[in-house]
Amino acid sequence: MGSVSLRRPRAPAYLCALALTPALGCFVGTFAAGRPCLDDADCGPQLSCQSGYCDGRVPAGSTGETETSTGGETSADATTTTGAPATTTGTTGDGLLCEKMDVVLVLDNSDSMNQWDGRLFALASQFETYVGALTDDVGSVHFGVLGIDPASEREESCQVHGALRVDVSQGPLCAAHAQRPYLTDQDTFDVLNLGCFIRPPSGSPDEQPMRSLLAATDWAMNAEGGCNEGFIRDDALLVVLLFTDEDDDHGDLQGHDGSPGDPQFWYEKLLYYKRGNADAIVVGALLGEDPLDSGCPWVLPEDKSEVTQSTVQSIGAEEGVRIRKFLDQLPVGHAYVSSVCEDSYVDFFVQFFEEIVRDACEDHDPLATDPFVMDPTDGDDTGAPEPDAPQPGAACDPDGPLGQDLYCRTDGYGALGELLECVESEPDEWTWEAALSSCEEPCAKLGGIASGCSGNGVAPAWGCVCALELPCDPPSGCMGDFAMLCLDDALSVAECADSCLDDPRGQLGPVCGPTPP
């Protein structure tokens, strides 16, 4: 099996042929009736979870309480197992590590990942060993896969970032997963089923793994009718595996933008989606190393192309600087990193699942949420102005919602805006005119010269920008309610009337805006 290539998008012919064997298929229809369950997703596309059992059917001889199976043991070698994972775990019972676990693999499916074909093929057996074994010790397990780009193989409405990947074209076995694009502990965690998920078609060279992860954990994506309906659960331990040979960065050597936001924003957004329960998140990552210490430094060809043939050319792996900064935000003991350049990923799986995941599962408290954790994107919609925003010389209504106060119009983060006022330019004719003089007094108090405004909208969503005769040191950013801006190689400052907001992309300077709710 190790000689079979994982080159996308076609599956090996033998895999599709084996998918025709009924005994190897996943459960569909009413097959799961009577099985213990926690959610409807545990019962397949046609049944619901009622009173702890699929379709509400209590097995004959059962007292209504479910049992926990210890299942078969797994080998330390991730390519084999010494016993098939059991699927008789229940909703409660002594011996469970935790009640619920959602495992999501964020897999870089860009062309450059073809250089790791042999190691990627082994992923199926690794997951069979380690995730499959968790079905013995966890009440309910979900497993799904994300790419680094929109899911082109899904229905049109779900061809978006964050939609789970499943290649239904591989045959009847994989087609059965079309209604629910992820596995649960009621499915068989074997190479055949897993092969339907871990082989997404080749994607964009603009790797955006963090965008995919955050979109996948969005509540709307997992709500009824969402593309990943029922996958990520509020009260489950979230286990993320992130495999990529490039960093998620802005303005890389190929001119790509990467995911919106910076590492701090990524963590805060993920924490928000997990209801503030920081201990409910664990992440294991295979990333590129420091090029000075790496066994496979990042070396792009002259045309910056990622198209490789693993037996002919290797372009190595880019150091995962920004992704590592994201991992640094997690609680101690909740992140584990290894090199994507390793000859085998067995040690990574052993360390991550046997130590990080199991410890986090034992300590998981689904009630340890924090309702005061805010969405980091709330209140910072201060990018380019709306098309109908006031413009110099345009007509205005002095009695309208905008005409009664000064209005700041700017291109958003890090930009110098123009302060406008609705004035009577002609008898009974009102137009928007420059009102920079309104900033002269407040700027004088700061020892600067009025040069414009920062923000979009009426007070208190803006502040006067005052040019100082100082170099840009410290660099631009928020200092409390002061927006420090580097304009024309000189430092300017805006005392925000309400609050200062940093660019969530981490590319531009700050902007004044309303306090997030």
DSSP type of residue 356? I
- Name the β-bridge partners of 144: 104
Partners of 432 in the beta sheet?
422
DSSP-assigned letter for residue 474: S
Q: Is 23 exposed, middle or buried (0-12, 13-18, 19+ CB in 10 A)?
A: exposed
- What is the 8-class DSSP label of residue 229? T
Residue pLDDT, tens place only, 439-474: 999 999 988 999 999 887 766 678 999 998 888 875
For the chain, domains (ranges, CATH) are: 13-25+96-363 (3.40.50.410), 407-513 (no CATH)
Q: Give the residue among 145, 326, 335, 365 at the shortest CA–CA distance from 234.
A: 365
Query: In this structure, is the dihedral angle defined by the CA atoms of residues 256, 260, 265 and 266, taken in order, positive or negative?
Result: negative
What strand order describes the sheet that includes 457-458? 429-434, 418-426, 407-409, 457-458
How many angstroms separate the Cα of 471 from the Cα of each of 475, 477, 482? 9, 14, 17
Tens of pLDDT, residue by residue over 378-403, are 544 444 455 557 888 888 888 887 77
In 3-state terms the chain splits into helix, strand, coil percentages (rounded to 5) of 20, 20, 60
pLDDT at 61: 41
- What residue type is 125 in one-letter code? S
CA-closest candidate to residue 19, choices 175, 218, 226, 223: 175
According to the model, what pLDDT value does residue 241 have?
94
Residue carrying structure tokens 């797994």: 74
In this prediction, the residues of the chain whose per-residue pLDDT falls under 70 are: 1-37, 41-47, 53-54, 57-94, 111-122, 199-206, 250-257, 291-292, 294-295, 297-316, 378-388, 458-460, 474-475, 504-507, 514-517
d(CA 237, CA 99): 9
pLDDT of residue 371: 87
At residue 42, the pLDDT reads: 63
The tokens describing 407, both together, are: 């209005």
